[in-house]
Copies of this chain bind each other. A is one copy, B any other.
């Protein structure tokens, strides 16, 4: 293979070549490291990277037996995940140089499958809104989104084929949209969160990034243990519901154009294609998600809130100060309302196999002091539904634009099969 372009190989293609030993893990890792060396001074996707250790591990993978479906694939790991052999700071100065005693479960599962952890990628502070140094590889003056900023940017910039992320509000789908990669947020509870800094029991979800649906399916199958995620070719034309939701007016012209183009491309081929309004009696899901997240973050991060207040960002302190005023009884009611909304929205999937929805309000905003608005993700995260972002066009300023698909709770294998079907038609 042409070594100068090895870093551009998608995960699926590289995995096949690695499994046949037509491609050496070392050569692939070297190509990725070279790309990082060339670009990361600008993009700043990584907080930790040790090239010598990576190459030593790559050689060890080449010399040993095939480990599994991710054998030899370089993987970026959001610095919200514990790694036993790399420092883990959760995006906070409180944990600078912290060395966890174990790998996060998701990291261990990927390593068991043969993945080669290339390095730790930038997260915002505790996966909230205070940004890290990462810039959008398509335009360095723009944010890559957050909180999985480094993972999305590194995959987008061909520094590596796959990366891990997490979503509590919109931290997988939004950076995937801004960076123009595929981002997959599984159904709540399908991927173990052990060893991932916890923000919210009700919301935190482990997922990942790749440059194609098949690539994230490969990662998703390892993370969930569900082999059906690999059956991407099995899709029959789906029944698609168009669901911009109550915040449709916040989608800018680029996103509206994407919705229109996708409709034109998909409607003729889908088994059904129609507007899919949310049930009328739903509560304000965005407001509910914000309140649940605030209450739970202030409690999950109690140690940091109580002992390290002076080392928290102003924004996080402000969140905590508001959150501690939320009565626990109100939070219990919020969780009950969310459960009720889950039941109501579930019924939509009797009529539609998948919902097509905006991922973000527009292209990545200019500036790197904020990470953009997760408005179009909060509701789906609160509902726990599996989501995938599909990039397929550019917007007014030449930055990536795409849309997300949302499936019924637990139907992750269906989501990925339909996403493959949809993405093929959007990128023809």
Residues of chain A at the chain B interface (Cβ within 8 Å): 84, 95, 98, 100-105, 107-109, 111-112, 189-190, 192-195, 197-198, 201-202, 221, 224-228, 295-296, 299-307, 327-329, 331-332, 335-336, 410, 412-413
| Docked-complex contact A109 and B193, CB < 8 angstroms | no
Which B residues are in CB contact (< 8 Å) with A193? 198, 201
| Residue from B98, B105, B332 within 8 A of A410 (CB atoms) | B332
| Residue from B102, B227, B302 within 8 A of A105 (CB atoms) | B302
Sorted from nearest, which 4 A-B pairs have the closest CB atoms? A225-B328, A226-B328, A108-B302, A194-B198
Minimum CB distance partner of A82 in chain B = B303
| Residue from B84, B306, B410 within 8 A of A335 (CB atoms) | B410
Bound Cα distance A305, B302 (Å): 30
Q: Separation in Å of the A266 CB from the closest CB of chain B?
A: 27
Q: Separation in Å of the A300 CB from the closest CB of chain B?
A: 4
A interface majority secondary structure: helix
In the complex with contacts A98-B101, A198-B105, A190-B332 CB distance below 8 A: yes
| Docked-complex contact A105 and B226, CB < 8 angstroms | no
| Docked-complex contact A111 and B329, CB < 8 angstroms | no
Number of copies: 2
| Residue from B112, B192, B295, B413 within 8 A of A198 (CB atoms) | B192
Question: Could you show 15 A-B contacts with beta carbons less than 8 Å apart?
Answer: A105-B301, A105-B302, A189-B201, A189-B202, A192-B198, A192-B201, A193-B198, A194-B198, A224-B332, A225-B328, A225-B331, A226-B328, A227-B327, A329-B413, A332-B412
Minimum CB distance partner of A190 in chain B = B332
Minimum CB distance partner of A104 in chain B = B303
Which B residues are in CB contact (< 8 Å) with A305? 108
Minimum CB distance partner of A225 in chain B = B328
| Docked-complex contact B303 and A84, CB < 8 angstroms | yes
| Docked-complex contact A195 and B335, CB < 8 angstroms | no
Q: Apart from A84-B307, A112-B302, A192-B296, what are 20 other A-B pairs with CB-CB below 8 Å?
A: A84-B303, A98-B101, A102-B303, A103-B302, A189-B335, A190-B332, A192-B201, A192-B302, A194-B300, A225-B295, A225-B299, A225-B327, A225-B328, A226-B329, A226-B332, A227-B327, A227-B328, A228-B328, A228-B329, A336-B410
Q: Separation in Å of the A62 CB from the closest CB of chain B?
A: 20
Bound Cα distance A413, B331 (Å): 13
Which B residues are in CB contact (< 8 Å) with A228? 328-329
| Docked-complex contact B295 and A103, CB < 8 angstroms | no
Minimum CB distance partner of A196 in chain B = B198
Bound Cα distance A101, B96 (Å): 11
Bound Cα distance A84, B304 (Å): 11
Which B residues are in CB contact (< 8 Å) with A303? 84, 102-105, 107-108, 195
Which B residues are in CB contact (< 8 Å) with A189? 201-202, 335
Minimum CB distance partner of A108 in chain B = B302
| Docked-complex contact B306 and A108, CB < 8 angstroms | yes
Q: Separation in Å of the A278 CB from the closest CB of chain B?
A: 21
| Docked-complex contact B105 and A328, CB < 8 angstroms | no
Bound Cα distance A101, B302 (Å): 13
Minimum CB distance partner of A197 in chain B = B194
| Docked-complex contact B192 and A105, CB < 8 angstroms | no
Which B residues are in CB contact (< 8 Å) with A302? 103, 105, 108-109, 112, 192
Which B residues are in CB contact (< 8 Å) with A190? 332, 335
Which B residues are in CB contact (< 8 Å) with A108? 302-303, 305-307
